[in-house]
């Protein structure tokens, strides 16, 4: 009986009712007027994905920037620069799509874009600054580069397979359309093949 009384009290109803969209009347109980917890969960998920993916991209960009800046052989720099340009372009497209889905505020979006844009030039400047003492084949350089590359690769592979590709492949629209599945799988394999070819010079 006490529970029934609480449920009928205005203060109890106000504290437990879901947020209502602007412009809806108090009598409306439809899902379009009440809040959408699923949408909020997806938004939080997309924000975490974009932040973790951005972290992996930033780490990777710094390492390859240092490698490019410290390289003193023109025959190595030219193909590495071409591979790096393609690589950063596609990474930027993927990260930009995630940031767009996350619906960050303007300030957060600007900060993430600046981090992505500036990390490679900062890495290149750092590589140029330490080029006189940096030795690519030294045990220290190989160990530090290997650790950071492994961390970045692990983050990027996990995010790509678990949070980005899985969401697309498990989409109901994808599951019910064989032609769409064929197109997405073909595109995935072609993209992986192109990036593998670029790895020859990176």
Residue 145 pLDDT grade (very low, low, confident, very high; cuts 50, 70, 90): confident
Does the pLDDT of residue 16 top 70, yes or no? no
In angstroms, the Cα distances linking 172 to 36, 46, 176, 181 are 20, 19, 6, 11
This prediction's pTM: 0.62
> Looking at per-residue confidence, does 186 or 164 come out higher?
186
Among the listed ranges 21-30, 81-90, 172-181, 183-192, which one has the minimum average pLDDT value? 21-30
Q: What is the mean pLDDT of residues 91-114?
A: 86
Average pLDDT, the chain: 75
């Amino acid at each position: 009986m006490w529970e029934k009384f609480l449920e009928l009290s205005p203060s109890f109803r106000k504290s437990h009712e879901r947020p209502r969209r602007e412009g809806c009347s108090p009598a409306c109980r439809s899902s379009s007027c009440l809040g959408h917890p699923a949408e909020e969960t997806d938004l939080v998920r997309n924000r975490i994905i974009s932040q973790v993916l951005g972290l992996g991209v930033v780490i990777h960009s710094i390492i390859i920037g240092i490698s490019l800046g410290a390289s003193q052989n023109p025959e190595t720099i030219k193909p590495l620069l071409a591979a790096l340009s393609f690589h950063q372009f596609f990474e930027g497209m993927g990260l930009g799509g995630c940031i767009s889905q996350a619906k960050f505020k303007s300030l957060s979006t600007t900060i993430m874009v600046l981090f992505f844009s500036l990390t490679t030039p900062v890495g290149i400047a750092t590589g140029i600054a330490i080029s006189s003492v940096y030795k690519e084949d030294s045990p220290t350089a190989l160990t530090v580069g290997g650790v950071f590359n492994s961390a970045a690769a692990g983050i990027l592979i996990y995010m790509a397979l678990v949070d980005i590709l899985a969401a697309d492949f498990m989409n109901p629209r994808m599951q019910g359309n064989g032609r769409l599945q064929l197109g997405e799988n073909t595109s995935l394999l072609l993209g992986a093949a192109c990036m593998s070819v670029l790895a020859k010079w990176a």
